C-alpha cells in the first residue's frame, strides 16, 4: 500500500511504518475489552434460564466483534498505520474500518507527549501524542518503539518552541 | 440598600506605582443581598402561617426550615467569600486571590483575555451590583470561566471592564450608545414567536405548575383535587386526557417561554464597539437580570447559523460566533450574538459582522448522490436494529407479533431523516473562509477562517470508500473545535483540505492538478 487510497486521493502515504509488535498490542487490547463482555454474556446465558432467549442475539454480536477485533483488526491496522514528521507538520494515517489521515502544523503544536499504557510497557511500545489548541486536533501515533517516540517527542518540542504566537 | 461607604475605602484611586496596585475587594452588599433573598423566600410561608391559620406543624414547616437553613448557610459562605477574595489589575495582568481554607491565586494575562461578561440578576440590580466573568482561551471546553468576580458594585464593574478592554472612560456613565458604537441589530418584539415553541415549553409548564401546586398547597388549597373535579376525566378517555394535558401544558409553557424571552432579551442590542486598536462585538440585554458580553473581534474565527429542522418552514435560526475563549456549553450562550429569530436577520447581521460578500451566502453545490445512498444505508441499518433485537423472542413465541411490526416503525422515519440530512450537506471555500453545512435536527452553516484551522483530517469508512466519499474535518481552537464537511466526493477531498488549510499538506500531496484542476499549486 503506497498511498492511503491510490488514485482517488492525491496525497501520498506517510513515509514510516510502525512496529510489528503493535499487532500483539492490538490483540491484547481487544481481549481485555471484549473478552469480559462476551464472558459476562455467556455466564448469564448459562446461569439465568428465563433470559436465554433474549441473550442469543447479543452473544452472537459480541462473538463476532471479538473475532474481528482479535483476528482482523490488528493486521489491518498494521497495514494502514503510518507516520511522518517534517519541519513543518506531523502527518499520520490510522484506522481500519474507518481510515483517516491527519496533518497538524508544527506551528500550532501545544504539547507533545509520549504515552505508555500497561500493555505498551509490556511490549516496549509507546504512543506519540501531538496536541494542538483544538480539543479534537490531537494526532496520535500508536505502536512506535519506545526510543523512537521519545526522540521524536524531543525533536518536535524543540521545533515547536521556535514558532511564535499563541497557537490558536 | 446599604451605605456606599463600604466600597469607598477599598477602591481608592490607583494611579500610584503600577507594581504596587492595591488589592480591591468585592462589594460587601453581596452578603445583604443574600440575607434579603432568604427573607423573601421565607415570606410566603410566614404569611401562610401568620395570616391564614395554617397549622404550624413540622410537616408543613419543613420546606420553610430548609429554606431558612440554606439561606443562612449561603449568607455565611458569602461573608467568608467576601472576606477572603480580592483582585487587582496591574499593567499586564489581572490577579485574584480567593478561598478561606484553600487559597487560590489566579493570574490572567490581559492580552489573553477574550471576553468580559457583565451580568446582574434582579437582586444584584436592586443593590447596584454586577457579576463580572472574564474569559480566556485555555478554559475553552472545560466549561469554566477563567475568572469570576461575584459581585462588584456597579461602578467598580464598569471600571474593571474598561481596564480590561482598554476602553477610555465614557463621558456619561451607562449611556446606551457611545458615539463609537455601531449598532448591528436591536430587538424586534415579534421575534417572540420564534422563541415560544420548543420542547422546553413542556418542561417549563411542568416547572410552573409544580411551583404553583406547592405554593397554593402551603395555603391549604389542593390544586390537584380542584383540577380533578373541574372536568369529567373518565368520559374523555386516556386519549382525551393526553390531548388535554398536551394542549394545556403546551399553552402554559408557550406563554411562559414568551414572557421569559421578553425578560431575557428586553432592550437587546448588538453593537460593534471600536476602541483604540481593537473592536468588540457587544451584546446587551435583559429586563430584570441584565447581561452584557464583550467579544474581542480579533478572537473571532467565524460564524455559524443553525436552522432547526422542525421550524425551518418559518425560517427560524440561531446565530453564534465561532471564537476562542467563550464556552459553547455555557447555558447563557455567550457565543449567541442574536436571539433565536428569522434567518433573514441572521444572514444580514452575519454579513455585517464578517464583511461583504458574506461567506455564509456563498453558493454550496449539492454533494454527490452517493452521500444520499450512504445515509439511506445507515438509516436502514439503524432501522433494522430493533427488529433484529426482538426477532428471536417473536419467532419462539415469547413476544407477540405486533412487537415486531412496531419495531419496524422506526425504518421509514429513519429513511426520511436520511433525505433531509443529505439535502443539508454543502461545502465551499469563500474568500478567506471555509464554509460547511450539515446536520439533521439543526442544519448548521458554519464559516470558519482558513487561517484558524490547526489540524486537517480526511476520513473514510469502508462504505464511504465503496461510494467514493470522504469526510473532511477542520480542527480549530474556537467554537466546537471541529468543523466537518461530511461526504465530499473522494477525488475532491484532498483539494478541499488543501484549500481549507493553505500550505499545510502541500509537501505530502502528489500529482496535484492532474485530476481536474480543482487544486491550487502554489
Domain regions of chain B by residue span: 192-265, 369-421
Q: What is the per-residue pLDDT for A93?
A: 94
Closest Cβ opposite residue B494 in set A10, A136, A167: A10
The answer to whether B508 contacts A89, with C-beta atoms less than 8 Å apart, is: yes
Q: Strands B453-461 and B442-449: what pairing?
A: unpaired
Q: Report the DSSP beta bridge partners of residue B27.
A: none
Distances (CA, A) of B414 to B198, B221, B368, B418, B486: 22, 48, 20, 6, 18
Interface of A with B in 57-96 (CB under 8 A): 57, 84, 86, 88-89, 91, 95
Residue A93, Cα to own-chain centre: how many angstroms? 9
Q: What is the per-residue pLDDT for A165?
A: 54
Q: Does B403 touch chain A (CB under 8 A)?
A: no
Contact B334, B320 (CB under 8 A): no
Q: How far is A4 from chain B (nearest CA, A)?
A: 10
- Residues in B closer than 8 angstroms to A56, CB to CB, are 392
Q: What is the per-residue pLDDT for B310?
A: 85
Contact A52, A65 (CB under 8 A): no
Domain regions of chain A by residue span: 19-78, 82-162
- Residues in B closer than 8 angstroms to A98, CB to CB, are 459-462
The answer to whether B455 contacts A104, with C-beta atoms less than 8 Å apart, is: yes
- Residues in B closer than 8 angstroms to A166, CB to CB, are 112, 137
The string of pLDDT tens digits covering residues A25-64 is 999 999 999 999 999 999 999 998 888 888 888 999 999 9
Interface predicted TM-score of the whole assembly (ipTM), two decimals = 0.85
Interface of A with B in 34-53 (CB under 8 A): 53
Among the four given CATH numbers 3.90.1150.10, 2.30.29.30, 3.30.70.20, 1.10.10.10, the one describing domain A82-162? 2.30.29.30
Q: Report the DSSP beta bridge partners of residue B275.
A: B278
Q: Report the DSSP beta bridge partners of residue B484.
A: B473
- Residues in B closer than 8 angstroms to A104, CB to CB, are 454-455
CA distance B67 to B382: 49
Residue B87, Cα to own-chain centre: how many angstroms? 28
Q: Which residue of B has its CA nearest to A109?
A: B454
Mutate to test the interface with A, among B455, B461, B490 (most CBs of A within 10 A): B455
Q: Which residue of A has its CA nearest to B483?
A: A136
CB pairs under 8 A between A and B: 132
Return the SS3 of B517. Answer: coil
Q: Does A118 touch chain B (CB under 8 A)?
A: no
CA distance B416 to B409: 12
Output the nine-digit C-alpha cell for B397. 413465541
pLDDT, average across residues A129-136: 84
Q: What is the per-residue pLDDT for B449?
A: 93
**Residue segments in chain B with a per-residue pLDDT below the cut of 50:** 1-17, 139-143, 169-177, 512-522
The string of pLDDT tens digits covering residues A82-121 is 999 988 899 999 999 999 999 999 888 888 888 888 999 9
Amino acid at each position: 500500500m503506497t498511498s492511503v487510497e491510490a488514485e482517488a486521493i492525491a496525497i501520498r502515504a506517510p513515509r514510516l511504518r510502525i512496529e510489528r509488535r503493535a499487532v500483539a498490542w492490538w490483540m491484547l487490547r481487544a481481549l481485555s475489552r471484549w473478552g469480559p463482555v462476551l464472558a459476562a454474556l455467556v455466564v448469564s446465558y448459562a446461569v439465568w434460564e428465563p433470559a436465554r432467549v433474549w441473550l442469543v442475539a447479543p452473544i452472537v454480536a459480541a462473538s463476532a466483534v471479538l473475532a474481528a477485533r482479535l483476528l482482523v483488526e490488528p493486521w489491518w491496522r498494521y497495514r494502514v498505520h503510518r507516520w511522518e514528521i517534517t519541519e513543518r507538520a506531523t502527518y499520520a494515517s490510522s484506522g481500519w474500518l474507518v481510515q483517516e489521515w491527519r496533518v497538524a502544523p508544527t506551528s500550532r503544536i501545544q504539547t507533545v507527549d509520549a504515552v505508555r499504557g500497561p500493555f505498551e510497557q509490556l511490549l516496549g511500545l509507546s504512543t506519540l501524542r501531538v496536541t494542538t489548541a483544538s480539543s479534537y486536533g490531537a494526532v496520535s501515533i500508536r505502536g512506535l518503539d519506545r526510543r523512537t517516540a521519545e526522540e521524536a517527542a524531543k525533536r518536535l518540542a524543540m521545533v515547536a518552541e521556535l514558532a511564535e504566537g499563541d497557537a490558536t | 440598600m446599604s451605605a456606599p461607604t463600604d466600597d469607598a475605602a477599598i477602591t481608592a484611586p490607583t494611579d500610584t506605582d503600577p507594581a504596587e496596585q492595591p488589592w480591591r475587594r468585592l462589594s460587601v452588599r453581596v452578603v445583604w443581598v443574600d440575607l434579603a433573598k432568604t427573607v423573601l423566600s421565607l415570606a410566603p410561608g410566614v404569611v401562610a402561617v401568620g395570616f391564614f391559620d395554617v397549622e404550624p406543624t413540622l410537616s408543613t414547616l419543613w420546606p420553610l426550615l430548609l429554606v431558612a437553613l440554606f439561606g443562612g448557610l449561603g449568607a455565611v459562605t458569602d461573608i467568608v467569600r467576601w472576606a477572603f477574595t480580592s483582585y487587582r489589575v496591574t499593567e499586564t495582568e489581572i490577579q485574584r486571590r480567593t478561598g478561606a481554607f484553600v487559597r487560590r491565586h489566579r493570574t490572567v494575562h490581559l492580552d489573553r483575555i477574550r471576553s468580559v461578561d457583565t451580568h446582574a440578576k434582579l437582586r444584584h440590580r436592586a443593590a447596584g451590583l454586577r457579576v463580572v466573568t472574564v474569559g480566556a482561551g485555555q478554559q475553552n471546553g472545560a466549561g469554566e470561566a477563567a475568572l469570576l468576580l461575584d459581585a462588584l458594585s456597579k461602578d467598580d464593574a464598569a471600571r474593571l471592564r474598561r481596564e480590561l478592554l482598554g476602553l477610555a472612560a465614557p463621558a456619561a456613565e451607562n449611556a446606551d450608545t457611545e458615539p463609537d458604537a455601531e449598532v448591528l441589530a436591536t430587538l424586534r418584539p415579534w421575534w417572540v414567536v420564534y422563541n415560544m415553541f420548543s420542547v422546553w415549553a413542556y418542561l417549563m409548564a411542568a416547572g410552573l405548575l409544580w411551583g404553583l401546586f406547592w405554593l397554593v398547597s402551603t395555603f391549604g388549597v389542593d390544586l390537584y383535587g380542584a383540577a380533578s373535579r373541574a372536568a369529567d376525566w373518565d368520559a374523555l378517555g386516556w386519549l382525551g386526557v393526553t390531548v388535554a394535558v398536551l394542549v394545556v401544558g403546551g399553552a402554559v409553557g408557550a406563554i411562559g417561554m414568551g414572557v421569559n424571552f421578553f425578560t431575557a432579551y428586553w432592550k437587546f442590542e448588538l453593537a460593534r464597539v471600536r476602541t483604540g486598536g481593537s473592536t468588540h462585538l457587544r451584546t446587551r440585554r435583559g429586563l430584570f437580570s441584565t447581561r452584557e458580553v464583550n467579544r474581542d473581534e480579533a478572537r473571532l474565527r467565524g460564524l455559524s447559523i443553525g436552522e432547526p429542522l422542525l421550524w425551518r418552514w418559518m425560517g427560524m435560526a440561531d446565530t453564534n460566533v465561532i471564537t476562542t475563549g467563550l464556552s459553547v456549553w455555557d447555558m447563557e450562550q455567550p457565543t449567541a450574538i442574536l436571539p433565536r429569530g428569522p434567518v433573514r436577520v441572521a444572514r444580514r447581521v452575519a454579513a455585517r459582522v464578517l464583511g461583504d460578500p458574506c461567506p455564509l451566502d456563498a453558493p454550496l453545490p449539492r454533494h454527490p448522490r452517493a452521500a444520499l445512498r450512504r445515509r439511506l444505508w445507515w438509516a436502514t441499518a439503524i432501522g433494522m436494529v430493533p427488529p433484529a433485537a426482538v426477532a428471536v423472542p417473536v419467532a419462539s413465541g415469547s413476544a407477540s407479533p405486533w412487537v415486531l411490526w412496531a419495531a419496524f416503525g422506526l425504518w421509514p422515519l429513519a429513511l426520511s431523516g436520511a433525505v433531509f440530512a443529505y439535502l443539508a450537506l454543502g461545502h465551499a471555500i469563500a474568500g478567506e473562509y471555509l464554509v460547511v453545512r450539515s446536520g439533521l435536527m439543526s442544519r448548521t452553516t458554519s464559516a470558519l477562517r482558513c487561517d484558524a484551522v490547526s489540524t486537517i483530517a480526511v476520513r473514510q469508512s469502508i462504505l464511504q470508500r465503496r461510494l467514493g466519499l470522504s469526510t473532511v474535518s477542520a480542527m480549530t481552537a474556537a467554537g466546537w473545535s471541529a468543523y466537518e464537511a461530511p461526504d465530499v466526493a473522494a477525488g475532491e477531498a484532498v483539494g478541499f483540505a488543501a484549500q481549507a488549510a493553505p500550505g499545510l499538506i502541500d509537501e505530502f500531496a502528489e500529482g496535484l492538478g492532474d485530476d481536474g484542476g480543482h487544486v491550487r499549486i502554489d
